[in-house]
Amino acid sequence: MPAPGLPPAPGTADHADGTDGFDGPVLGPQWSTLRRPAGPDWLSLTERPSHLRLHGGRSPQSLIGPSLVARRVTAARCAFEATMEYRPETFQHLAGIAAYYNTGNWYYLYVTADDAGEPVLRVAGCDRGRLSVDEAGQVRLGGTTRLRLVLDFEGAELRFRHDTGGGWEPFGPALDATVRSDEHAEHIEDGHIRSLGFTGAFAGLWAWDLTGGGHHADFDEVTYRTGH
């Protein structure tokens, strides 16, 4: 496994198109984790066979205990798809897919519970640390617990799609994909560089449990393909 918080070593595994059904005993070399190794305290490939189970971690504002499993984005035009099964019990439970650069720059298509405890699909974004959540554009899921989620990277634009069983539907407007770039992540203050972007863009599976209880999400059949 790559070191926590670092991209995998150069090679072909993290660049290859393909589908991962999570049938093996360990994560494949294309996957990276964030700031902690892939251990049984938060991640399992055996609790539910042929699924990756992520126990929800802390929010991006915390530098300890995130539950993010991601792979490098290697092309300006590509797609990242995942099947997820999730049953949130509170608005503090969130799980879905993310376009991730660092703690201050990301997009997140996720399932959570609204104030009435009903499951909804929403998009959140973070641009240089400024968080936004599109509650007006949410979709109510009713009894649907298993759905397919997609990130489409289209050059400078990023789009989400979802499928709850009736076919693909777009979710929300086109988003600014440059939020996940090295240049955008640079922090310049008073003419001085305070931080540099260098990690590169990732697409991944992300689960939060802001209660600290580790409420889990199950992921299956994750596909990455370039040039779509």
DSSP string, 25-51: SS--TTEEESSS---TTTEESSSSTTS
Q: Is the pLDDT of residue 5 over 70?
A: no
pLDDT for 78 equals: 95
pLDDT for 137 equals: 87
**Rounded Cα gap, residues 173 and 195, in angstroms:** 30
Kindly report which listed range (21-30, 131-140, 188-197) carries the lowest average pLDDT score. Answer: 188-197
**pLDDT tens, residue by residue, 123-175:** 999 998 899 998 888 999 999 999 999 999 999 999 999 999 999 999 988 99
- CATH level 2 (architecture), domain 13-226: Sandwich (2.60)
Could you state, in order of their start, the residue ranges of all structural domains in the chain? 13-226
Q: Is the pLDDT of residue 17 over 80?
A: yes
* Mean pLDDT of the region 45-66: 94
- Give the model's confidence band at 10: pLDDT under 50 very low, under 70 low, under 90 confident, else very high: very low
Q: How many CB atoms lie within 10 A of CB 70?
A: 22
- Give the model's confidence band at 189: pLDDT under 50 very low, under 70 low, under 90 confident, else very high: low
Q: Is the pLDDT of residue 43 over 70?
A: yes
Is the CA virtual torsion 19, 105, 115, 167 positive or negative? negative
SS3 156: coil
pLDDT for 190 equals: 59
- Give the model's confidence band at 194: pLDDT under 50 very low, under 70 low, under 90 confident, else very high: low
Structure tokens at 20: 């991962």
pTM of the model: 0.86
